[in-house]
């Protein structure tokens, strides 16, 4: 074998090894973020567990087969949540999903409360969140449910940071108005 062919062979092998390493790194990152990714997919699917599973599966396929590439411009979780959101949006646009009847909602984001008072409060919060406009609920879920910053949530949703901050502010106002009874002004 000539030295040029030997060098080309080594370069090709190194490229294959690098791709395999990147693939295992991506798989490990997906496994690390799976639980939160599923919760976000469930939010994007508006509580439809079957749709959330399909969206997450399709998102993972996009990531693993290279249709969605992580380029390191944002934290991995932020990028992954963007892929999930875009995949969910595509699913909702699909004619098949528009004809489909949604499944009843399940409370899967929180562990069951053992204290009856806590269970009642969580149920009230869940009902109040269902009344929020979709974008407000999404920003609220990303910030409080997934521990993202307002900037990261804006990036996931593809909106300006100021817009995300306003959605968060309005969501908190609406929840406060629904959950905290007004004080009597007569006292």
Of the pLDDT bands very low, low, confident and very high (cuts 50, 70, 90), residue 2 is low
Are residue 81 and residue 98 in the same domain, yes or no? yes
Co-location of 96 and 133 in the same domain: no
Q: Looking at residues 168-187, what average pLDDT do you find?
A: 80
| Rounded Cα–Cα distance for residues 40 and 146 (Å) | 8
- The tens digit of pLDDT for each residue in 43-76 reads 888 888 988 999 999 999 999 988 898 888 889 9
Same domain, 98 and 119: no
Name the domain boundary from 48, 80, 104: 104
Place of tokens 């294959």: 16
Is residue 108 within 8 Å of 133, Cβ to Cβ? no
- The pair of three-digit structure tokens given for residue 89, joined into one six-digit string: 């949006």
Phi–psi pair at 131, nearest 5 degrees: -85, -10
87/2 same-domain check: yes
Q: How much of the chain, in percent, has pLDDT values that exceed 90?
A: 33
Same domain, 12 and 84: yes
Cβ-proximal residues to 92 (8 Å cutoff; 6+ apart), any chain = 98
* In a shared domain, residues 25 and 10: yes
User: Domain containing 187 — which CATH number?
Assistant: 1.10.10.10
Residues 95 and 174 in one domain: no
Dump pLDDT digits (tens) for 65-74. 888 988 888 8
Same domain? 41 vs 99:
yes
N- to C-terminal Cα separation, the chain: 95
145 and 93: one domain?
no
Handedness of CA 33, 36, 39, 45 (dihedral sign): negative
Among 53, 85, 104, the domain-final residue is 104
Q: How far apart are CA 63 and CA 72, in angstroms?
A: 14
Q: What is the pLDDT of residues 106-158, one digit of tens each?
A: 444 445 556 676 767 778 777 888 888 989 988 998 898 888 899 989 998 89
The CATH number covering residue 33 comes to 1.10.1740
**Whether 46 and 64 share a structural domain:** yes
- Boundary residue ending a domain (55, 87, 104): 104
Tens digits of residue pLDDT in 6-28: 555 554 454 444 444 456 788 99
Residue 120 burial (CB < 10 Å; 0-12/13-18/19+)? exposed
Regarding whether 67 and 46 lie in a shared domain, the answer is: yes
Domain range for 70 is 1-104
pLDDT of 96: 53
129/110 Cα distance (integer angstroms)? 14
Q: Is 94 in the same domain as 132? A: no
Looking at the structure of the chain, the number of domains it has is 2
């Amino acid at each position: 074998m000539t030295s040029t062919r030997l060098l080309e062979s080594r370069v090709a092998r190194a490229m294959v090894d690098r791709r395999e390493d990147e693939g295992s790194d991506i798989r490990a990152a997906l496994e690390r973020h799976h639980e939160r990714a599923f919760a976000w997919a469930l939010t994007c699917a508006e509580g439809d567990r079957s749709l959330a599973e399909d969206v997450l599966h399709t998102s993972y396929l996009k990531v693993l087969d290279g249709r969605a590439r992580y380029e390191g411009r944002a934290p991995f979780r932020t990028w992954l949540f963007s892929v999930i959101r875009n995949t969910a949006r595509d699913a909702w646009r699909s004619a098949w999903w528009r004809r489909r009847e949604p499944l009843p909602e399940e409370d899967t984001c929180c562990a069951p409360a053992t204290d009856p008072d806590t269970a009642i409060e969580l149920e009230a919060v869940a009902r109040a969140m269902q009344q929020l406009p979709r974008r407000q609920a999404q920003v609220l879920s990303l910030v409080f449910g997934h521990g993202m910053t307002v900037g990261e949530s804006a990036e996931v949703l593809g909106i300006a940071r100021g817009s995300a901050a306003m959605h968060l502010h309005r969501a908190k106002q609406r929840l406060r108005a629904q959950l905290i009874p007004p004080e009597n002004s007569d006292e």
